[in-house]
Amino acid sequence: MTKLPCDIIQDLLPSYADGLTSPASSKAIEAHLAECQTCAAAYAAMQTGSIEDAKGPEGSGSEGFPEIDYLKKIRSTNRKRILIAAVLVLLLTGFGVWAKVYLYGSPIEDFHMMMTTDTDSRVVKTETFTDQNGETRTFSHATSETLVFNCWIEESSGLAFSHYKLKETDDGLDIIVYAVPFSRFHPMRTLQIKVPVGYDEDGKSVDPTAVNIKGDTYSGYGLITKKAKDLYAARNPYIGDISADQRLANLLGVGEAIGSYTNKLNTQESEGFEYPYSWELIFDRPWTDGYDKIYNRKMRSYAYVLLALIDNCGEIKWTYQTEDGIRYTKSINLADWCAEYPSDDVSPGFRIELKDYAAYDYRIQNLLTKLDIG
């Protein structure tokens, strides 16, 4: 039998160790291992996993066989595959993050919006009926139209609109607006959204029942802003709860619009008054000339809303001083409301009292609109 060289034997050793060589090859390898100490040591190293045992005879130096890692090629290939996979994962992750931030965007509510209706899309149904006097009358109501939401975003925000989504919920239809950093991929700072709606005979929206965008809701009662809904949720039955009082003032934006103040409550009952309690706001900084009229007008509107939403409050006062040090105290009560708004009707022939505005969020919206708040 021809004796095989050591390098060939060592190439065959991994297959031999795994039992993959033919009987003839295995016999030749075994014969070689019986005679060659170096190859026998290499085979033993493969069996035990020790690289040290694969070295040639002690002192052989460069004349012995070099140290060989028989799995070197496989390990090198695996390392390359792992490295390539890791790089691909990093690249895909980085691209995903970049696309999410700069192409897809995130939901945003910090933008301006104006809602109108597309009159060309309105469908009106006219019905004829005979009244109790035998006279023929007609009644018309819209059965469908398209709501148009014109949105725009401030240039200083550094953002631009990317897209929007319509999501059906139990409360109607949600419009979710997305924004991204302003770039050549998304340079739009204006966005128009059109939503068709249908109405029943009472004028209530039924398809969808409501349209919600950035916290505001449009339904058969008209547009109800997030501020009106928040105020409705924050109604306070007792003026003595100063934290609840302050929450209402904060939602109205009293401090932001006029300035900081301290609170003074009068919770002593007075006989003969249905709403005997009062709340006084004492402003800290002087009101400059020219602004006192503006602030008084704003404060009067805020006070009416506070009167409506604090159930047992009968009077709202506010105290301020001018730059020359003169101190003034103003106040409003329910009688002032009746005098200032004697024909405040929600619907023809039905008068609503100030306190009754707190019964529904859409009534609070009517009150805010009437008082030019928000």
In this prediction, residue 271 has a pLDDT band, given cuts at 50, 70 and 90, of low
Sign of CA dihedral 247, 322, 374, 357: positive
* Higher pLDDT, residue 196 or 56: 196
What pLDDT is recorded for position 122? Answer: 74
Q: Give yes or no: residues 359 and 282 share one domain.
A: yes
Q: 70: helix, coil or strand?
A: coil
| 296 inside domain | yes
Whole-number average pLDDT of the chain: 84
Tell the residue number behind the tokens 């075994």, with chain if given.
30
pLDDT tens digits for 113-136? 888 888 787 777 776 767 667 777
Residue that finishes a domain, picked among 186, 221, 256? 221
Residue 96 lies in a domain: no
Domain end (from 221, 248, 280): 221
Q: How many domains does the chain have?
A: 3
Instruction: With respect to residue 31, please indicate whether it lies within any of the assigned structural domains.
Output: yes
The CA distance from 327 to 331, in Å, is 14
Q: How far is CA 242 from CA 26, 228, 234, 256, 318, in A?
A: 95, 20, 12, 18, 16
- Do 299 and 180 share a structural domain? no
Q: Tokens 């029943």 label which residue?
A: 200
Same domain, 213 and 240: no
Residue with tokens 């050549």: 184
Asked, for residue 181, whether it belongs to a domain, the answer is yes
Is 0.75 surpassed by the pTM of this model?
A: no
Whether residue 136 is found in the same domain as residue 197: yes
pLDDT in tens, 203-257: 666 678 889 998 899 887 778 999 999 999 999 999 999 999 999 999 999 999 9
What does the block give as tokens for 263?
Answer: 């609170």
Q: 217 and 250, same structural domain?
A: no
pLDDT digits (tens, 9 = 90+) for 69-116: 555 556 667 778 888 999 999 999 999 999 999 999 999 989 998 888
d(CA 24, CA 127) in angstroms, rounded, equals: 104
Q: What mean pLDDT comes out for the span 138-148?
A: 76
Instruction: Supply the range of the domain harboring residue 34.
Output: 6-70
Q: Are residue 214 and residue 300 in the same domain, yes or no?
A: no
Q: Is 157 domain-assigned?
A: yes
Contact 182, 189 (CB under 8 A): yes
Q: Is residue 22 part of a domain?
A: yes
pLDDT band for position 296 (cuts 50, 70, 90): very high
Residue 86, domain member (yes or no): no
